[in-house]
Structure 1
């Protein structure tokens, strides 16, 4: 047998031999290839970070906020601790791996900073939850309490006053904070019997207390979480006379000034316009009629009713420019001091005073902090409108109130500000607004056009957030805001301030008449806009993945520079497609099993909502309608032609996903013979009841009785895909949740 010829060194081997050689050397080659790929990726990232020219500070604020959101998203303490540990390990690894490597300076700095800042975000919200979170009472109770009045909020539109009390829980041996609603007639009785019931008084009353309510349905407002961070252990109402044990000391503080100022403004301006003027002057929104508030919301103007960035900025800007113009009239002052510094001080004092006068709520404090940074920039001769300033204000708020990041107020206000700054700092906007030799009408036209574009950008930026929290959005908000914002900023608010000043001389009546006309015009705009066909867009509950993609895309568009920012359209486009494809729930079951909503087709080709109970509670009805994306009043199931109802149960059949679903719902808590109940359950796919059902009741798919709903909270059912979404699925082991975590 002949031996194969030897291949001289350096000559090319045959293909079979080459294949064998490759197979033998593959592990080493794979390692070398992977290392080369990692090196190239590192080079690309380093080049991108070094050449993009973006500001790092806003991204650190985003990472800090992401850490706070991660704490809310994760379920248990061990997960929170693991994330903190992992973030710190990433920071240490970045420091060790690229130590002394000048070619990886940007990656090293980004890894260390992001790891530390993310861990800090998780830690600070965890710490705040442990420090101020209030354990809720175990069950509803009716008892007589004695408490110290911490806060009073007048709500004449709801014919009540809200009191926040500090009480002593003798059984537990601790102090608790509760909030109770007092009907106006009881407030009048209490005030006739003694001094005004205000902050500092000690009262006794018989009250009905409830644990703060968890969300009624998946996607509903989580009052239990809000109460946890406010330190509220219970909420309820007074059901007996109020006895003033100890009158409040003579009050001359800010709450008293706010009430006097609010009452004074409402006396000068009639009707709903007066309630809005009082809100602008003192932050008192309790007297605004529900119909007007709904019209403002559907017109995209509800942000004008809460004292936040627009109002604080208007006050500070007016004080700044008034101070700098008046000081410029005195040459000895203008030639010896820097006027922007003095004007900034005047503006700061005005902003802080207005913030305190209007109640120093979190949105107002947040706006005041941002305005202070703008004033500092003006005093130093720096660019006042910058994303770095917005990031500093956001970090300030998140350090003091980290829980505010999950609320619509924080998200909407900072989204609007970021959108404005990003738009006006772009090259296209600067070029469009650059000074040039042109007639005044053309210059004004460009400014009006930019105002409209700014309104459109704000509406686009806010729409995902509004839909996520409220499941509805005003379509024509940009058009309404183009008129309403300048009118409030340059007409209504200055007139209110001027009217208050002239009232000191007894000459304010003509000015208050102008205030009346301007705010009546604002309400007319709101009602006209909200009444247009298609003015309100309803959407089902947006998924967390969808809103996360929207936010990531928007932040990328706003915070990067150059062509790289266009990548932000990719997640935004994907999120839009996911939003459009979000299924509308077929069945909605409230947390107690009493309120059930079922969507069915109507004669016009749209949808309507069937409701198990014709509830007088607007809260329950509105939640069902919004999460079902249905307009119009719900139809009671007992009046629906396709339903079979007795005094105990209603049975309804609906077609979904190619099959017929049989739904049986309890109408009351009357006892039913167990054998008959078991037979009815066996013929049903879904059974819903607000009481415990026996084990013998075994439907084919789901038994949502009181026992199950206490563990899961409210439910949203997608019958086509046979999916169940519960409140418990997003609660985890956070202190405010009373059910079982999933």
Structure 2
């Protein structure tokens, strides 16, 4: 099975993957528009364009277009011409960061960029917006503001209309899973369809007495689930949920207990056969980990006995239901924590409490009201239902912002090494999959991983892969070389370091001396004083002074190629070295350097790299598997 899995991912990488553009370039692109994805929250539109008569470009480009530059004639099938600065899909900017390059490789995207106006339309669109885009636009026209963005995401899976503030609040409060179409949404839809079909068919006496109503209703629910999955883009959590729901319906039709770990295994096998690259992504890992945790908990005899229905007064029944929901939420949060720390460098702490209200609110109020509003819109009578939907979504956002604003909502931590993540996952799976006393042996690696997370040191220096942005950890917090860096860079730096405060300007530090061209900083770490020199501009620095500063420094960081005679004592991270290693995370106390890329890394979604050559200089005291080459 392991060999078949390796063969499967290798085969898909060779047959389906799209090699990236090798270097940034300006180009005049003439191509056919294959897809249009509006992103109202950022006032832009994303186009997938297939270049024509351009063998030097990848077969598919993703370009961003400002909303004011968008024309009604630009749609699927349109041929357009524009100027663009194209880039290879971005690798992680820092160790442990999001690898869009790998995702783009399997999506068939070879380059990304921004289309510069004017956009010439050579041939208007030959096809109108697809059903998903029409539904997305219809919902936003009926429900404005933050509520409209959430409503559109629930119906179509497209989160482009959700503002960053609302999305961050949903993430911090542990409610982000409500925005990704998964088990909750698919189950609610299928359950509602089965319920309605059963009630409608039971109105006929002949049908009620002679027809297999459950089988018919289950068939209708299955068709609804498949249609919903296709409508929302068939993302991994949605496909997993749809497969699981179909297996449950089949099990019910056969009179079998369908909610078992075999169901999860079957869903995982189907997803991995179609999308083997999903295994390393947070979506697959968090989706399946949550379901495995819920089923493993529900199969435990003591929990099953406590949660079983019984004849008792309403207050005890409500208290029991709330307790079951809380325990389930705690189990899911505990299982998802190491995955969240590894991929996002933070984990939710209050999600179980927020979900007590948010899950019933979404399942039994928001989604039925939204479905009713869409149904009434067929007759032009949906306004009251949309008003009620908006109020329910406002309540959901109020819960998200209220819980997310708590300082205890999220635990932050620096980027984790792979071995810690492996220990936690191995121990967790051992505990969840076994049913006998052997399961508790999994606590050993899980505990080792947990202790390692607590002891995982924050980096002292972070350097992005292009060398332009440098962050330092000081006694007062964290400082950034370029104080005008955008929010994306600031968030990436803070998350990778596990830092929740505001990043200061490096030039404002008392131990820093900065000019327009250079910054020198001294840091006391590991019983010694480290001297750091960073370039700030592209201007030529006087050779004599620069040579002297290079000899003074232990570490020199630059976004350009430095001359050979610039030889610091420990590390020279200039453009040639960073092109080979990617971003850096430096721990001065241990004398180690973590890199985005390893020297032998030859994944096909990475542009061809060369060694540091004359410009590179490796750290003389780095050690361990995380050391730079």
TM-score, normalisation: structure 1: 0.80
Q: Does 1:472 align with 2:346?
A: yes
What's 2:4 paired with?
A: 120
Q: Paired residues, what number?
A: 611
Q: Secondary structure at the match of 1:240?
A: strand
Alpha-carbon distance between aligned partners in 2 of 1:143 and 1:151, rounded to the nearest angstrom? 20
* Distance change in 2, residues 1:460/1:689 (3 Å): same
1:740 offset after TM fit, Å? 5.7
Alpha-carbon distance between aligned partners in 2 of 1:441 and 1:726, rounded to the nearest angstrom? 56
1:264 offset after TM fit, Å? 2.3
What's 1:495 paired with?
A: 369
Q: Does 1:508 align with 2:382?
A: yes
Which sits farther off after the overlay, 395-404 or 327-336?
327-336
For 2:194, which of 320, 345, 360 is the aligned residue? 320
What's 2:616 paired with?
A: none
What's 2:52 paired with?
A: 168
Alpha-carbon distance between aligned partners in 2 of 1:577 and 1:583, rounded to the nearest angstrom? 12
Which sits farther off after the overlay, 321-330 or 235-244?
321-330
For 1:592, which of 454, 466, 470 is the aligned residue? 466
Which sits farther off after the overlay, 537-546 or 674-683?
674-683
1:315 offset after TM fit, Å? 0.6
Q: Does 1:691 align with 2:560?
A: yes
Q: Secondary structure at the match of 2:585?
A: strand
- Is residue 533–residue 557 contact of structure 2 (8 Å, CA) maintained in 1? yes
* Distance change in 2, residues 1:494/1:390 (3 Å): same
Q: 1 or 2, which has the higher helix percentage?
A: 1
Alpha-carbon distance between aligned partners in 2 of 1:552 and 1:310, rounded to the nearest angstrom? 27
* Distance change in 2, residues 1:730/1:396 (3 Å): farther
Cα deviations by residue, 1:432-467 (Å, 9 ceiling, x for unpaired)? 122333223322321221011111111111111111
- Is residue 474–residue 530 contact of structure 1 (8 Å, CA) maintained in 2? no
What's 2:617 paired with?
A: none
1:537 offset after TM fit, Å? 1.2
Alpha-carbon distance between aligned partners in 1 of 2:7 and 2:509, rounded to the nearest angstrom? 53
C-alpha RMSD of the superposition: 1.6
Alpha-carbon distance between aligned partners in 2 of 1:212 and 1:285, rounded to the nearest angstrom? 21
Cα deviations by residue, 1:209-252 (Å, 9 ceiling, x for unpaired)? 0111211111111111111111111100011211122222243x
What's 2:159 paired with?
A: 285
Q: Secondary structure at the match of 1:632?
A: coil
What's 2:596 paired with?
A: 727
For 2:541, which of 668, 672, 685 is the aligned residue? 672
For 1:243, which of 113, 120, 144 is the aligned residue? 120
Written as runs of structure 1 = structure 2, the 5 A alignment for 1:376-387 is 376-387=250-261
- Is residue 731–residue 737 contact of structure 1 (8 Å, CA) maintained in 2? no
Alpha-carbon distance between aligned partners in 2 of 1:734 and 1:396, rounded to the nearest angstrom? 25
Q: Does 1:618 align with 2:487?
A: yes
What's 1:530 paired with?
A: 404
Written as runs of structure 1 = structure 2, the 5 A alignment for 1:337-736 is 337-602=211-476, 608-729=477-598, 732-736=601-605
Written as runs of structure 1 = structure 2, the 5 A alignment for 1:113-262 is 117-168=1-52, 170-172=54-56, 176-187=59-70, 190-191=71-72, 195=73, 197-251=74-128, 255-262=129-136
1:175 offset after TM fit, Å? 6.1
- Is residue 540–residue 582 contact of structure 1 (8 Å, CA) maintained in 2? yes
Which sits farther off after the overlay, 669-678 or 392-401?
669-678
Written as runs of structure 1 = structure 2, the 5 A alignment for 1:261-276 is 261-276=135-150
* Distance change in 2, residues 1:169/1:677 (3 Å): farther
Gaps of 5+ in 1: 1-116, 603-607
Alpha-carbon distance between aligned partners in 2 of 1:687 and 1:583, rounded to the nearest angstrom? 22
What's 2:625 paired with?
A: none
Q: Secondary structure at the match of 2:101?
A: helix
Which sits farther off after the overlay, 549-558 or 334-343?
334-343
Alpha-carbon distance between aligned partners in 2 of 1:627 and 1:284, rounded to the nearest angstrom? 27
Alpha-carbon distance between aligned partners in 1 of 2:193 and 2:389, rounded to the nearest angstrom? 20
Cα deviations by residue, 1:299-337 (Å, 9 ceiling, x for unpaired)? 111111122221112111211222233334434223333
* Distance change in 2, residues 1:442/1:325 (3 Å): farther
Alpha-carbon distance between aligned partners in 2 of 1:467 and 1:346, rounded to the nearest angstrom? 40
* Distance change in 2, residues 1:479/1:551 (3 Å): same
1:631 offset after TM fit, Å? 1.6
What's 2:626 paired with?
A: none
TM-score, normalisation: structure 2: 0.94
Which sits farther off after the overlay, 142-151 or 518-527?
142-151
- Is residue 615–residue 621 contact of structure 1 (8 Å, CA) maintained in 2? no
Which structure: larger Rg?
A: 1
- Is residue 94–residue 596 contact of structure 2 (8 Å, CA) maintained in 1? yes
